Structure 1
Amino acid sequence: MQVLRKLLLPISVVYGLIVFLRNRCYDLGIFSSKSFTTRTICVGNLSVGGTGKTPMIELLVRSLHQKYQLAILSRGYKRKSNGFLLSTHKTSVEDLGDEPFQLKSKFQKVAVAVDADRRNGIAQLEQIVKPDVILLDDAFQHRKVKPDYSILLTAYNNIYVNDWYLPTGNLRDSKREAQRANTIVVTKCPKNLSLSERNKIVDKINPKEHQKILFSFLSYNEELKGININLEDLKDKKVTLVTGIANPVPLEKFLLGEGLVFEHLKFNDHHFFTEQEITVLKGKECILTTEKDYVRLKSKLTNLHYIEVSHQFLDDDAKIFETELERFMTTNS
């Protein structure tokens, strides 16, 4: 696979040129970026693959929901509906998409909408919901909207400065576009990441004066959801791990580190399970899955548990994050 990706380098060069020209058109004003009256916070990345965007949206909701009325706008990747859709208690996971549905299930009082046209989505939310702030999920590369604050995520094991354009690498946008971010969060770090290694990463990223570089790791909740039991209780069961996410490796490592023995059935990101696959899963003794996969499986299986994941910042970075967020919200009120 790696050899094939290297052979596709000429396509990557063409792709990179197209990305460069597109961004230059926005920089020069040939293509327009629109600002909105409602405050917007963008969460995104420069690459394909999991960097933890949904857990970051959840963190923002938890930080802001007590003081502000929030709305979340997502594209709703692989949903079976079209155009703008504002979720209600009747909206299905197929109509909304798995990640927006997960967010709506967890935060009932927060408006969650999907629209591939981010401008239209924001305009609709301003008219219908009138929120104080709109959280734009996976929107860093969507330059038709100019967000008021941008959080760029990059995974520790594949920091964007070391990457290359698709299909040889995983970059879908130019590295130089990172300069538009207010905060860059290096996600999925080891919990014991040393200060010297952090400094090396900061030197590689070479942030602008206005940018903060923060470090986080994934924290897994050992109190399983679905059927509420503890992770420890699964050690005497025949466990099947089912994942349809971009990068299941951190979860695999965590479970192995906890001494759990399991078979792992891997599916593509945002996978919608077929009837044949559901029949196979029904025959398993105990299924452990991610929260994103759970929302697609919960109506079809009873032998199902999911493990919650959240971002936890290293050392004082949590305080820095909260301070920067509060500064933005109070200076833009």
Structure 2
Amino acid sequence: MSKNKTNINKWLLPLSWLYGFVVFIRKKLFDWNILKQVQYDVPVICVGNITVGGTGKTPHIEYLVRLLKTKYRVAVLSRGYRRKTKGFVLATPNTDFKKIGDEPFQIKNKFPDIIVAVDENRRHGIETLLAMDDRPEVILLDDAYQHRYVKPSFSVLLVNYNRPIYEDTLLPAGRLREPAHNLDRANVVIITKCPQDLKPIDMRIMTHDINTYPYQSLLFSTTEYGDLIAMFDRQNLFESVERPLEYIRNKKVLLVAGIASPDQLVEEIKKYTENVQLMNFPDHHDFSDKDIQDIEERFKEMGNDTITILTEKDAARLTDGNKMSERLKASMYYLPVKISFLSKEDERLFMKKIVRHVYKSTRDGEIYQEEGF
């Protein structure tokens, strides 16, 4: 099993113990019903993690959207991380990413027919959605595993294969938001970003080490990359010319990545060319004029035949093309990703659990019957 070594800042462990005590007290306040949870009369499916960043929440949310949107009115509710607005904002096809955040912007543009909203107060967000005339039948909560004021009807917990929670420790020494045993609130635990050739023996080792509870399912997913999509040859970012990744074979690539864990993306690009230069920015980075100037300078250094590749999230933050030369814009593509499960058994089990849960929580059993569950 080949994965990155988990780095722990041991000199910060005393602060992690203090942080852990605060987390423990908060958990007990909810367990003792001193802090109140609210449950709603529609299926509320939470997709989250107990690690800071890098587990692939958005592609898993999109997987659920594809699974459910043909039969149900689906809403995605996010807090809209690093947006420039406050309170409840309902996305439209013309909403700027600065008003809702890059990931909700990405989801709305991919799935314009679903409801996408942001609200830092999840209770208020859900209640506002349910007060709509055309209220949603299923709500997908993005990154809400720690937001315990809402009691989801179903929880999916994501764990990065390259940084398993059983090797990690609490913030700030590690990257855990809460102790690993707090995975007990999840219905399904998914090990994400797995190598596509992960061996069964490695799966069994991780299954043993993560130590899920009997009522939970442990599944394994991987990242699949789509075709490169040109950013600036059409008005709509998500309706542009597509090129297979083979297009970059032996070409020079400038990879611009503002994501928590770019290593897997770099490995994918290097399957086609070794001539890759990475410009790595923090997760959800808001690109400044200076950043764009730096990208422009690196692009010029590499030569005008360079292909510039961005992640979907980064593309969402650079849609206007301001301060960029026409040559740089002509070189720019973004690389969409989606998830798939490592086995058909895992895929079918996940679909069965989600579809059955939604069926039992609504009056419409059509999707349940059609899928043969």
Q: TM-score range by the shorter chain?
A: over 0.9
Rounded to whole Å, the distance in 1 between the matches of 2:164 and 2:71 is 34
Aligned AA (1:169): G
TM-score normalised to the size of structure 2?
Answer: 0.86
Asked if 1:308 corresponds to 2:336, the answer is: yes
Equivalent positions of 1:175-186 (< 5 A) are: 175-186=180-191
| Secondary structure of residue in 2 paired with 1:13 | helix
Indicate which of 56, 59, 67 corresponds to 1:55.
59
Structure 1 outlier segments of 4+, above 4 Å: none
Deviation, structure 1 residue 325: 1.1
> How many residues matched?
332
**CA deviation vs aligned residue, 1:138-178 (integer Å, no higher than 9, x gap):** 00010000000000000111111221001111101122220
Deviation, structure 1 residue 190: 1.2
Equivalent positions of 1:1-333 (< 5 A) are: 5-128=9-132, 129-226=134-231, 227-235=241-249, 237-282=251-296, 284=299, 285=304, 286-300=307-321, 302=329, 303-315=331-343, 316-333=345-362
Deviation, structure 1 residue 232: 2.1
Deviation, structure 1 residue 3: 8.9
The unaligned stretches of length 5 or more in structure 1 are: none
Rounded to whole Å, the distance in 2 between the matches of 1:209 and 1:327 is 19
The unaligned stretches of length 5 or more in structure 2 are: 1-5, 232-240, 363-373
Rounded to whole Å, the distance in 2 between the matches of 1:277 and 1:155 is 29
Deviation, structure 1 residue 6: 1.3
Aligned AA (1:250): Q
Aligned AA (1:211): Q
Rounded to whole Å, the distance in 2 between the matches of 1:119 and 1:255 is 41
Rounded to whole Å, the distance in 2 between the matches of 1:215 and 1:238 is 33
Rounded to whole Å, the distance in 1 between the matches of 2:34 and 2:27 is 10
Cα gap change, 1:87 to 1:206, in 2 (>3 Å): same
| Secondary structure of residue in 1 paired with 2:218 | strand
CA contact (8 A) 1:76 1:114 kept: yes
Aligned AA (2:357): F
| Secondary structure of residue in 2 paired with 1:119 | helix
Rounded to whole Å, the distance in 1 between the matches of 2:172 and 2:275 is 34
**CA deviation vs aligned residue, 1:208-267 (integer Å, no higher than 9, x gap):** 222110001111124445342222222354321000011101101111123352211010
Cα gap change, 1:3 to 1:43, in 2 (>3 Å): closer
Deviation, structure 1 residue 287: 1.3
Cα gap change, 1:288 to 1:158, in 2 (>3 Å): same
Rounded to whole Å, the distance in 1 between the matches of 2:13 and 2:212 is 28
Rounded to whole Å, the distance in 2 between the matches of 1:126 and 1:312 is 31
Percent of pairs identical after alignment? 41
Rounded to whole Å, the distance in 1 between the matches of 2:250 and 2:206 is 41
Deviation, structure 1 residue 317: 0.9
CA contact (8 A) 1:40 1:135 kept: yes
CA contact (8 A) 1:39 1:332 kept: yes
TM-score normalised to the size of structure 1?
Answer: 0.95
Aligned AA (1:306): Y
| Secondary structure of residue in 2 paired with 1:143 | coil
Rounded to whole Å, the distance in 2 between the matches of 1:16 and 1:155 is 21
Partner of 2:367: none
**CA deviation vs aligned residue, 1:62-116 (integer Å, no higher than 9, x gap):** 0000111000000100000011100113310111100010001100001110111
